[in-house]
Amino acid sequence: MDTYLILVLFSVVAFLYASVGHGGASGYIALMAIFAFPQNEIKTNALFLNLFVSFVSFTQFFKKDDFPYKLFFILVAFSIPMAFLGGIWTLHDRIYKVILGLILLIPIAKFLGIFPKTQFSVKQNLPILIILGLGIGLLSGLLGIGGGIILSPILILLGWCTVKQTAAVSAIFIFVNSLAGLLGKSFSTIQFSENITQILIFTVIGGILGGFFGAKKFKVQWIQYTLALVLIIACFKLFTT
């Protein structure tokens, strides 16, 4: 029963995240933390699942004539090598949990609507894009996340992208950083869960459905509150174990 419950929950998390243009790594990590997955499996599993769901989400949100190509290519040019390095490095278990718990506070704040509603009028410039690419890329590889959950509120807050553009940029940004992090991880040790194939199937199904409904203007406020609750539980477990 625990196995079936976990599979269903992975599918639900993928659905929820894909509906808002994300791959779901922070949600998968939250589930794995709650169900006490082995530490050496969490990062690899999350990056692997992120690849598929983020790509599915991207195909739903991408619009050729509305995609901010320049912004995206500058970001990934600097994030990819850092995500690769982050994938190679292994943090001490306690340090990993604390940093991850702190990073998860960002999506919690986003989903609860704590971030300012008013956009800043900040002109896109190379130094800011470089800093974002380097910083988010490194965290992506180190923690096993794609980085979109950090990038998306920043893009909206700075007024650089619309909500739909942000979803598309975040989704493909997550994909390339997850791939880079996973490749970096292959230079140390890659350890998947025994039932990763089953988890992947359920996760992809949830991601396809979530991306479809999210791109079709699916009402997402209740989804955001649900995700925030899952992440709050995960943060509590990360900080107390």
CA distance 143 to 62: 26
Helix (H, G, I), strand (E, B) or coil at 239: helix
Please spell the DSSP secondary structure of 10-53, one letter per residue: HHHHHHHHHTTT---HHHHHHHHHHTT--HHHHHHHHHHHHHHH
Express each pLDDT in 40-63 by its tens digit.
788 899 999 999 988 988 887 788
Express each pLDDT in 167-194 by its tens digit.
889 889 999 999 999 998 887 778 889 8
Express each pLDDT in 137-146 by its tens digit.
998 888 888 8
Q: Phi, psi (5° rounding) for residue 11?
A: -65, -40
Contact 83, 184 (CB under 8 A): yes
Contact 79, 177 (CB under 8 A): yes
Contact 171, 55 (CB under 8 A): yes
What is the model's pTM?
0.83
Work out the pLDDT band at 223, boundaries 50, 70, 90. Answer: low
Task: Find the Cα–Cα–Cα–Cα dihedral 111, 211, 31, 132, rounded to 10°.
Answer: -60
Structure token digits, residue 199: 């988890």
CA distance 230 to 34: 9
Express each pLDDT in 57-87 by its tens digit.
888 778 878 899 999 999 999 999 999 998 8
Residue % of the chain over a pLDDT of 90: 27
pLDDT at 155: 87
Residues shown for the chain: 241
